[in-house]
Amino acid sequence: MARGAASHPNVYDTAEDGFFAAPLSQDDERAGSARCYLTAPVRARRNLEIMANTRALRVTFDGTRVAGVVIEQAGEEKTIAAREVVVSAGAIHSPALLLHSGIGPAEDLRKLGITIAADRPGVGRNYQNHAQLHLSMTLKPGSRLPAAAQHYIMTGLRFSSGLEGCAAGDLFHYFTGRVSNKPFGRRMAMVAAALYGPVSRGVVALRSSDPNASLNVEKRLLSDPLDAQRMIIAARHAESLLLDPTVRGCFEEIYLMPRQAPLRLINGSGLLGAAKAVGAAAVLASPGRLRRAVIGAAIKPGRLIADESAIYPMADDEILDACGAMFHPSSTCAIGAADNPMAVVDPKCRVYGIEGLRVADASVMPSIVSANTNIPTVMIAERVADFIRSPR
């Protein structure tokens, strides 16, 4: 804020750059859609059947109209007849389900021996996700969260790369006051640097017509040079905030974390988890040289980038190597106009070329939203529910 960034009391009131308290879908615990929508009265509805341990394998058709869904339960295939089907398997599995059903790029499907129901080249294309990296800090005693503090993510900062052709608010930091919900977790904090307006696009494709075969998911994060450039800007911005003289006194060391953060080394449940927590607490309380050696070995190819006596600057390549995807896959069954060959669904989320079939999840976003994706996905589901209720 000393650098002139605004502070927004409510992030939903503005799209301007600035700090805000991170909105969390949380009451006493994480508030996911399954828990919040499938309440006891909803589960008791006579027109609802929830089939656990069931996998949808493909949609079936009568000509160009939906006829049903083939499912797998306990190793057995069954067909359920349906006049209307809504696919909500997420941005990886919804396109896979459509592809297994014969909706996708005709040439690719033919090669796999899948009968074509609708030639839609956009199915599985256009994958988008937010890229991010983490810097972690060992906190001095006076900078640690009080034990009663509940939340993991405390604060967000939306800011702009200012590069030509890039929308405002394309970069994002979130600040977390702990790395684990165990007591030692408050001994470390983290700053994430993320790209919230990517242009890179990846692919989700089938390797085989066998529904048990693994999918080919090519994220292609940062494949567009503009994205790589902006990710470096975001990482350098995080570094400069942490190295600011007014902040630097809060911690002993800063580490660049690797793409796959080794959280399994410190988190876990049961006896093993308790033993790991004791070990992590002992490492964090150990003298500086030992602490740096143990953490340095655990986070390779991440590394120490600053301690109380020196800064060990990050190279651009190191920054790019440390970037991974957030849990925000999207855009693989994109909404688009009827004359857009890469569009998979129309603005009411109906699959082009097939009657009675919709997709309702993060896969229909034409481009990934510049925000976390859970609430936008819930909004998509609410809109599709409205479309189904009022067809006109």
Task: Report the catalytic residues.
Answer: 328
Tell me which H or E stretch contains 252: strand 251-256
Binding of ligand FAD at residue 193 (CB under 6 A)?
no
- Residue 178 C-beta: closest distance to ligand FAD, Å: 15
Binding of ligand FAD at residue 129 (CB under 6 A)?
no
Binding of ligand FAD at residue 55 (CB under 6 A)?
yes
Tell me which H or E stretch contains 76: strand 76-81
Among 328, 331, 334, 344, binds ligand FAD (CB under 6 A): 328
Which residue, 89 or 168, has its beta carbon nearer to ligand FAD? Answer: 89
Binding of ligand FAD at residue 93 (CB under 6 A)?
yes
Binding of ligand FAD at residue 126 (CB under 6 A)?
no
Binding of ligand FAD at residue 361 (CB under 6 A)?
yes
Give the β-pairing of 251-256 and 303-306.
antiparallel
- Residue 370 C-beta: closest distance to ligand FAD, Å: 12
Which residue, 138 or 363, has its beta carbon nearer to ligand FAD? Answer: 363
Binding of ligand FAD at residue 372 (CB under 6 A)?
yes
Stretches 35-43, 89-97, 182-190, 284-292: which one binds ligand FAD (CB under 6 A)? 89-97
Q: Which of 154, 293, 153, 131 is nearest to 227 (CA)?
A: 131
Is 337:343 a contact under the CB 8 Å cutoff? yes
Is 306:254 a contact under the CB 8 Å cutoff? yes
Q: Which long-range contacts (CB under 8 A, 24 or more apart) does 65-73 make?
A: 65/354, 65/355, 65/356, 66/354, 66/355, 66/356, 66/357, 72/211
Is 93 in a helix, a strand, or coil?
A: helix
What is the crossing angle of helices 270-285 and 288-298, to 10°? 130
The DSSP 8-state label assigned to residue 373 in this structure reads: S
Binding of ligand FAD at residue 362 (CB under 6 A)?
yes
- CA-angle at 219, arms to 214 and 225, nearest 5°: 160
Stretches 218-226, 237-245, 303-311, 374-382: which one binds ligand FAD (CB under 6 A)? 374-382
Stretches 6-14, 88-96, 177-185, 247-255: which one binds ligand FAD (CB under 6 A)? 88-96
Q: Which residues bind ligand FAD (CB under 6 A)?
A: 55-56, 88-91, 93, 97, 327-328, 361-362, 372-375, 377
